[in-house]
């Protein structure tokens, strides 16, 4: 029913391009015009769409997110990864893209990324096309 | 047509688990494979997906969001709740989840939350399944 | 197939109300009950839903986002617009709204905005209704 699951291994933190997998899932679904939802079932990793050209942008995104959501003396969560929960929430746990002519409708500078904030881990994400 | 409306009463601020309502809406819709959109019609309250195990995570999320979007001397909005608008925008006013086997496809640590940043209030949210 | 493209010219930064265009796209699609996705194909401009009543809220949102994601000495991206990438990512590159009775289901205080963080530019956005 147009549902795909993918797995990946992540490092400590990072943006991992997954646009190729999304294109593959859409092609396999046979849907030509519709919607595609990419969903992370994790609470310290999310899905983002951002620039694909200069890898320094991903470096700056990680730096800017750490700066916006730093460790707080008042944090209570014993696992010590609350900033990862905050950063995953800020980028969002899913993205929705439009499907046109059997492909994801993205801008020329856009790629879809799996965003790890609390690795290294075995992670997965789901792609639903309809 | 698979559209449900729910109401809740909130405190000053907080994350309120609504996964049970979402599961109920999906079951009532009869949709087995599809998408479900949870939408907040408010501008100082949003919808988030985050950890369900340790309530301290919700405490830390609220603290981290207040820290990232604090009161600013330069704010102009007379109502004085601009940080609530910012925090609601950061978590997002809606979430989209995949429906599989008539249930929301969530990670084991994920719950869906209604996020109040400017209560106490009478609030509502919509759930669309298709 | 329910897909519309719109263009707009932006200033340096700002929130541009596009709810009228969304309503128009939904009406033209003929869809009465469903979903509508508004998507920005840009990486330094996003789509937000926030308060429509007091323009000071938009002023405060821009101020609060600049404060949360300021310039960092450690930024590497040569173009110098990493904070725009961060702010666009924080508001999100798309929004999903529910369609009811052939109209976007929004709260009375909500409008949909195209959010420019790195203008002035010629921009566009897509609206998919299904």
The pLDDT of residue B1 is 66
Q: What is the pLDDT of residues A3-58, one digit of tens each?
A: 999 999 999 999 999 999 999 999 999 999 999 999 999 999 999 999 999 999 99
On chain B, the residues whose CB falls within 8 A of the CB of A41 are 105-108, 110
Q: Does A90 touch chain B (CB under 8 A)?
A: yes
Q: Does B100 touch chain A (CB under 8 A)?
A: yes
State the pairing for strand pair A122-129/A3-9: antiparallel
When pLDDT is averaged across residues A75-84 and rounded to a whole number, the result is 95
Assess contact for A112 and A106: CB atoms under 8 A: yes
For residue B70, give the chain C residue with the closest CA.
C64
Supply the ipTM of this predicted assembly. Answer: 0.97
C105 and B69: CB-CB below 8 Å?
Answer: no
Whether A1 has a pLDDT exceeding 80, the answer reads no
Tokens for B66, please give them.
Answer: 């207040």
Whether C119 has a pLDDT exceeding 90, the answer reads yes
Q: What is the pLDDT of residues B46-65, one digit of tens each?
A: 999 999 999 999 999 999 99
Whole-angstrom CA distances from C27 to B108, C5, C24, C100 are 40, 14, 5, 11
Chains near C (3 or more Cβ pairs under 8 Å): A, B
| C43 CA to centre of own chain | 12
Give backbone dihedrals phi and psi of A127, rounded to 5 degrees, phi first: -130, 120
Report the C-alpha gap between C47 and A6 in whole angstroms. 28
Whether C1 has a pLDDT exceeding 80, the answer reads no
**In chain B, beta strands by DSSP E:** 3-9, 14-17, 34-39, 45-51, 94-100, 103-104, 110-116, 122-129
Whole-angstrom CA distances from C114 to A98, A100, B84, C68 are 17, 22, 20, 20
Report angle CA A129, A111, C16 to the nearest 5 degrees: 90
Averaged pLDDT of chain A: 97
Domain boundaries B3-69+81-129, corresponding CATH code: 2.60.120.460
Assess contact for C46 and A22: CB atoms under 8 A: no
Residues paired with residue A94 on neighbouring β-strands, in sequence order: A39
Confidence class for position A67, pLDDT limits 50, 70, 90: very high
Give backbone dihedrals phi and psi of C23, rounded to 5 degrees, phi first: -60, -40
When pLDDT is averaged across residues C23-50 and rounded to a whole number, the result is 98
Assess contact for B32 and B99: CB atoms under 8 A: yes
């Amino acid at each position: 029913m147009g549902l795909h699951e993918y797995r990946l291994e992540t490092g400590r933190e990072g943006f991992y391009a997954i646009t190729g997998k999304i294109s593959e899932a859409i092609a396999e679904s046979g849907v030509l015009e519709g919607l595609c939802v990419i969903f992370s079932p994790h609470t310290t990793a999310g899905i983002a769409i951002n620039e694909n050209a200069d890898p320094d942008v991903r470096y700056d995104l990680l730096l800017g997110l750490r700066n916006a959501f730093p460790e707080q003396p008042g944090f209570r969560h014993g696992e010590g990864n609350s900033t990862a929960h905050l950063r995953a929430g800020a980028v969002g746990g899913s993205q929705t893209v439009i499907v046109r002519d059997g492909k994801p409708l993205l801008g020329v500078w856009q790629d879809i990324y799996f965003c790890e904030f609390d690795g290294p881990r075995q992670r997965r994400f789901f792609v639903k096309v309809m």
